[in-house]
Amino acid sequence: MRRIDISMPIFPGMPSFPGDPAFASAPLRSIARGDPYNLSGLSLGSHAGTHVDPPVHFVPGGTTTDHLDLGVLNGPCRVVEVGAPAASVGADDVARIPARTARVLFRTTNSARWASSLAFFPDYVGLTPAAATALVERKVRIVGIDALSIENDPSGTFPVHHTLLGRGTLILEGLLLAAAPPGEYVLECLPLRLRDGDGGPARAALVTP
3-state helix/strand/coil string of 148-185: CCCCCCCCCCCHHHHHHHHCCCEEEECCCCCCCCCEEE
Query: Of 47, 57, 67, 161, which is the active-site residue?
Result: 57
**Active site includes 57?**
yes
For the chain, the average pLDDT equals 97
> Is the pLDDT score of 132 beyond 90?
yes
Annotate 89-110 with three-state secondary structure: ECHHHHHCCCCCCCEEEEECHH
Own/partner pairs for 13-16, CB < 8 Å, 24+ apart?
A: 14/48, 14/49, 14/118, 15/118, 15/119, 15/120, 15/148, 16/45, 16/48, 16/120, 16/148
Cα 118 from Cα 145, distance rounded (Å): 15
* DSSP structural state of residue 71: H
Residue range 140-190, pLDDT digits in tens: 999 999 999 999 998 999 999 999 999 999 999 999 999 999 999 999 999
> Is the pLDDT score of 209 beyond 90?
no
68-60-103-80 Cα dihedral, nearest 10 degrees = -140
Contact 135, 169 (CB under 8 A): yes
Q: What pLDDT score was predicted for residue 193?
A: 98
| Helix-strand-coil split of the chain, %, nearest 5 | 20, 30, 50
Contact 6, 106 (CB under 8 A): no
Which among 201, 209, 184 is positioned nearest to 104, based on CA atoms?
184
Report the percentage of the chain scoring pLDDT > 90.
96
> Is the pLDDT score of 107 beyond 90?
yes
Q: What is the mean pLDDT of residues 22-27?
A: 98
Please name the amino acid found at residue 23.
F
Cα 142 from Cα 135, distance rounded (Å): 9
Q: What angle do CA 161, 163, 166 make, to 5 degrees?
A: 90
Residue range 61-100, pLDDT digits in tens: 999 999 999 999 999 999 999 999 999 999 999 999 999 9
What is the CATH number assigned to the segment(s) 3-8+46-207? 3.50.30.50
- Could you tell me the pLDDT band of residue 33, with boundaries at 50, 70 and 90? very high
> Is the pLDDT score of 36 beyond 90?
yes
Q: What pLDDT score was predicted for residue 157?
A: 96
Cα 177 from Cα 33, distance rounded (Å): 39
* This model's pTM is above 0.95: yes
Q: What pLDDT score was predicted for residue 98?
A: 95
